[in-house]
Structure 1
Amino acid sequence: MIPVEAFIFDMDGTMIDSMPWHAKAWVEFTRRRGMAIDVPDLMARTTGRTGTECIRELLQREVEQAEADALTREKEDIYRELFGPSFAEVAGFRTFAAHASVQGYKLAVGTAGDIHNVAFAMARLSMEPEPLTIVRGDEGLPGKPQPAIFLEAARRIGVAPERCVVFEDAPFGIEAARRAGMHAVAVCSTHSAQELAGPHVLAAVRDYNELMNTDFLERIHVAIA
């Protein structure tokens, strides 16, 4: 049995209930440019990817970094403006994270979000204790499904990948965890359990209240034995 030492959380849709507001932001962002988009298709192609990757996927062309940065800032400004008044965590997240920390698990965040979205979320969550590290999508690493963000989070907290469990709400993130050699928990806030399935997925839940009701923290070592 390999003991679990750390939990790595994706942010959007996993820690915070933000994905509907990202979709609304894309609608407004493209409306301003007279673009017609298939929002579900765009979300499926971009969720878990970095801002630059999202812009290139949207425009379907190579985009210089300065242009990508400017467009990303505009879209994320819209997102924060829309989500701010209705900000909410995924139910039970802070309680679960606090319990996990008390039981000795190291906590980290691995997100494709940028520095502004991370600051926005963390200021409103007021986690106690705070994660040991936060790896962001604007640090030069490739977005999910590449495993780089999760592997860097594990490296920073000094835990081997096989001793980490990733919490994710999106197929690209679940696949990134697999490629990183990590187990995963599927948080079904925006996708079904079937869409987030995999041999490395220990549980699929709607939120952290459901996870705690299954005594996950007490049973996790049994689950990966």
Structure 2
Amino acid sequence: MLGLPDDTEACLFDLDGVLTRTAAVHAAAWKEMFDGYLRERDGAGFVPFDPVTDYATYVDGKRREDGTRSFLESRGITLPEGDPDDPPERETIRGLGSRKNALVLKLIDEQGVETFDGSIDYVRAARKAGLRTAVVSSSANTVQVLRAVGITGLFDARIDGVIAAERDLPGKPAPDMFVAGAEAVGTAPARAAVFEDALAGVEAGRAGAFGYVVGVNRVDGRHAAALAERGADVVVDDLSELLEREAR
């Protein structure tokens, strides 16, 4: 059914890069934030943030503070955690995260949000087939993005960065957010399918022993191979491919 195991009861979708074209917006915001910080810190000799390699390796799919910390550690930089309400100008993990979030909201406001139509068609097909659906995203802006593109009603539950912080859920690659998503729609991980474009998200799906993990490749052949290596059962360029396979 829809390219999934027959006993699948629910579909758990990441948002950025799977359903909406916001992964590039996040990558641009991370780059602007990190480059600005590193330029201030290191001067003319700073090494820029790579919006492809660094984004995929250190921040994609992770909670904002985890991504900030992970990338800085890759550069040998240690900062205090700070507080959740640290302003963007504060030199802490939380402060830099706030700076990045302000940039994301600015870019979304300026550029708007687009969806991957084939993936939205897949969500609709899943619901028509009687499968429960949830969006599981590390983004704290999930509600705003869902509303902006008018797809809030396609999901029975939402587990996002805000809820993860409220419940103190570890971010991806830990499986906790996806496990919470499965619980929210009343099914066991073994009967739920995970849909992810981030390496950390695929790792989370595999670590949680979910019934099926679909890797969504929006980058290139190397990223597709990496998704498979991290545990994706199948890798597609868009969820419409699963609908096409079903039709055949």
Bin of the TM-score, shorter chain as denominator length: 0.7 to 0.9
| Residue aligning to 1:137 | 161
Q: Within 1, Cα distance between the matches of 2:200 and 2:34? A: 23
Residue 13 in structure 1 maps to residue 14 in structure 2: no
Structure 2 gap ranges (5+)? 41-45, 87-92
Q: Within 2, Cα distance between the matches of 1:145 and 1:72? A: 19
| Residue aligning to 1:45 | 58
Give the 5 Å matches for 1:28-177: 28-33=32-37, 34=39, 36=46, 37-39=48-50, 40-43=52-55, 44-60=57-73, 61=78, 62-66=80-84, 67=86, 68-84=93-109, 85-114=111-140, 117-127=141-151, 129-138=153-162, 139=164, 140-177=168-205
Q: How many residues align?
A: 215
Amino acid at match of 1:75: K
Sequence identity percentage: 26
| 1:148-201 deviation line (CA, Å, top 9, x unaligned) | 110111111110100000000011111110111111111111353211115963
TM-score calculated relative to the size of structure 1: 0.85
Aligned with 2:245 (options 199, 214, 220) = 214
- Aligned-pair CA distance for 1:21: 1.6
Q: Within 2, Cα distance between the matches of 1:171 and 1:195? A: 7
Largest Rg, 1 or 2: 2
Secondary structure of 1:80's partner? helix
Secondary structure of 1:197's partner? helix
Q: Within 1, Cα distance between the matches of 2:122 and 2:66? A: 31
- Aligned-pair CA distance for 1:41: 4.2
Q: 8 Å contact 2:215–2:232 — kept in the other structure? A: yes
Q: Within 1, Cα distance between the matches of 2:34 and 2:225? A: 30
Sort the Cα spacing of 1:193 and 1:42 in 2 relative to 1 into closer, same or farther, 3 A.
closer
| 1:87-115 deviation line (CA, Å, top 9, x unaligned) | 2112312221111101100001111111x
Sort the Cα spacing of 1:59 and 1:193 in 2 relative to 1 into closer, same or farther, 3 A.
closer
Q: 8 Å contact 1:8–1:165 — kept in the other structure? A: yes
Q: 8 Å contact 1:98–1:129 — kept in the other structure? A: no
The alignment's C-alpha RMSD in Å is: 2.3
Q: Within 2, Cα distance between the matches of 1:75 and 1:171? A: 21
Aligned with 2:214 (options 172, 185, 193) = 185
Q: Following superposition, which runs of at least 4 residues in structure 1 exceed 4 angstroms of deviation?
A: none
TM-score calculated relative to the size of structure 2: 0.78
- Aligned-pair CA distance for 1:2: 6.4
